[in-house]
Amino acid sequence: MASAPPIDEGLRSELQKQGIWVTSMQELYNWGRRNSIWPLQFGLACCAIEMIATAASRYDLARFGGEVFRPSPRQADLMIVAGTVTKKMAPQIVRLYNQMPDPKYVISMGACAISGGPFKQGYNVLKGIDRYIPVDVYIPGCPPRPEALLHAFMELQRKIDGQKLTGTGKAAFLDKTVPSEFPVPAFGAHDLEPPANADVFHPPKIERH
């Protein structure tokens, strides 16, 4: 548990032995959320094949409560950007993200979704989905193995577990001032307009001479 419950751990354990289970609303809420993450059912390239393998019987994403792939963004909690995002596809990805209800999370799966990967210098490939929407977990790999996607899924569960519902530092999705929708880029004459959302995309400044 990332957030310490306001009750002594030893006492709680002792009470549990007597058949009394003490918990907090936050803990219960996050426990429910983290064990029923419904991903949005869409794939973009070869990473999607690994995603399918992860959901199938051998790797079995159902063990972590993430097997309910939804064909509608209205019912999804998690967007797995699995594959190369072309510039022609990027506005649709942002639109799907905007249509998802809060709380929502994004896993950027594979080299292409992170940075454009091997197609980075192409005229038609977006250099990372984090130019337009915020990303929670990045998985490197080309494509990442199902174990890597499971690892990312567990990292996301850890993140959800640590989100506070009240007080200072509460989760971003409960803060009305934090935007949950982002402008959809338009098709321009030479590139997407804008080429990146400055509110979301903060590339590290490289200091060189």
Partner 1 sequence: MEALDEIKVRIEAAIPGARLEIIPNPGPANQSSLLLDHAHASTVARFLRDDPALRLDYCSNVTGVDWLERTVKKKVKVKKVVEGEEKELEETREEIFSGYLEAVYHLYSMAHKHGPLVVRLRTRDRAEGAHLPSLTPVWRSAEFQEREIYDLYGIHFDGHPDLRRILMWDEFTDHPMRKDYREPDDYEYEPTPHDDVLEKAKQHYVPRPAQDGTANIAAQ
| Interface positions with partner 1 (CB under 8 A) | 87-88, 115, 121, 123-124, 127, 187-191, 195-196, 203-209
Give least dist CB 124 to partner 1, A. Answer: 7
Would you say 26 or 115 has its CB closer to partner 1? 115
Shortest distance in whole angstroms from residue 111 CB to partner 1: 12
Q: Decide whether 162 or 203 has the Cβ nearer to partner 1.
A: 203
Between CA 136 and CA 141, with CA 140 as vertex, the angle to 5 degrees is: 145
CB of 48 to partner 1, least distance (A): 20
Nearer to partner 1, 66 or 134 (CB): 134
CB nearer to partner 1: pick between 104 and 127: 127
Give the whole-angstrom CA distance, residue 142 versus residue 19.
Answer: 49
Q: How far is the CB of 6 from partner 1 (least distance, A)?
A: 43
Residue 185 Cβ vs partner 1, minimum distance, rounded to whole Å: 11
Q: Is 88 left (phi over 0), alpha (psi -120 to 50) or beta?
A: alpha
Q: Closer to partner 1 by CB, 4 or 206: give it.
A: 206
Identify which of 173, 131, 153 has the alpha carbon closest to the alpha carbon of residue 37: 153
CA distances from 52 to 32, 43, 47, 94, 117 (A): 24, 9, 9, 22, 21
| DSSP string for 132-197 | TS--SEEE-SSSPPHHHHHHHHHHHHHHHHT-BSSSTTB-GGG-TTS-S--PPPEE-SSSEESSS-
